[in-house]
Amino acid sequence: MLCAGTAAWALAEGDRAARRARGVLAGGGPPVLGGPVRRERLVSAVRVRAARWREWWACLGAGLVLALLGGSVVPLAAGAVAVPLVRRRLAVRQRERDRCARAAEVIALCGAAVGELRAGAQPGQALAAALRRTAVGPGAPGPAETAVLAAAAFGGDVPGALRQAAREPGAEGLAGMAACWRISVDGGAGLAAGLDRLEGALRADRDRREALRAQLAGARSTTVVLALLPLVGLVIGTGLGADPLRVLLHTPVGWGCLLAGGVLEALGLLWCRRIVRAGER
């Protein structure tokens, strides 16, 4: 009952936060870069944070259930220890999603700028209009993005602002845009042609990464299955009447087996993760 009440309260908190974000961003406030797309992105970020918070506390809920079933505080302590580990893992996954989203928006920015240039707009006007349409970067506009928009709108150092913004993860393509901008201004080359080729190169690189990620999906699935096999063993032992939770949580031999199994499980996950990362490189 305690776990069910905690889950219901967490769900209500997530929905309430999303509704507050919609109310604040629906109108009446200052203009936001990117318009409706930016508002929807902020609402999505609130939802992701609420879901992440629920996943954190799911560790404590699972530990509490196992503690009640096994009559020991060891699972509850393990659930409390797992909270920061899960939080770190979810933060890494969210950073990877933000990086991929930012890379996709850089590609969209190149395409939008090419369209504006071919429609007859000046380079600064084209870049400013493309930035407003695509709004590079998840969440609220950052200092780098604001600097690029200001430089494009008011005739500042656009290549320098683009190189500064390219330091963010996933926005490395902006360095290529800065090079195209510098060459077109200094040497008189066509900016639209350079950005068009840059967009094609960035798109090809993204497709190659997605294909590699799809090829490695099988290895990741195998890792998850192998990591869950000890839980399957506990379920089978319980079904056979062996009462493995009592042995693991209330006997010295069980404590040793639990410690050794946890160490081997962690080493196996780290080794599989190393194999997958080597394939990615």
Which residues are within 8 A (CB) of 230 and not within 5 positions of it... i.e. 6 or more apart?
Answer: 261, 265
Q: What span, in angstroms and rounded, lies between the C-alpha atoms of 26 and 66?
A: 44
Query: Based on the number of CB atoms within 10 Å of its own CB, is 81 exposed (0-12), middle (13-18) or buried (19 or more)?
Result: exposed
Please tell me the pTM assigned to this model.
0.67
Q: What span, in angstroms and rounded, lies between the C-alpha atoms of 243 and 239?
A: 8
6 band by pLDDT with thresholds 50, 70 and 90: low
Which residues are within 8 A (CB) of 253 and not within 5 positions of it... i.e. 6 or more apart?
Answer: 247
Residues in the chain: 281
Residue ranges covered by each domain of the chain: 2-280
76 band by pLDDT with thresholds 50, 70 and 90: confident
Collapsing DSSP states into helix, strand and coil, what is residue 278? helix
> How far is residue 106 CA from its own chain's centroid?
17
92 band by pLDDT with thresholds 50, 70 and 90: confident
pLDDT in tens, 94-139: 888 888 888 888 898 888 888 888 888 888 888 888 887 776 555 5
Tokens 């659930």 correspond to 79
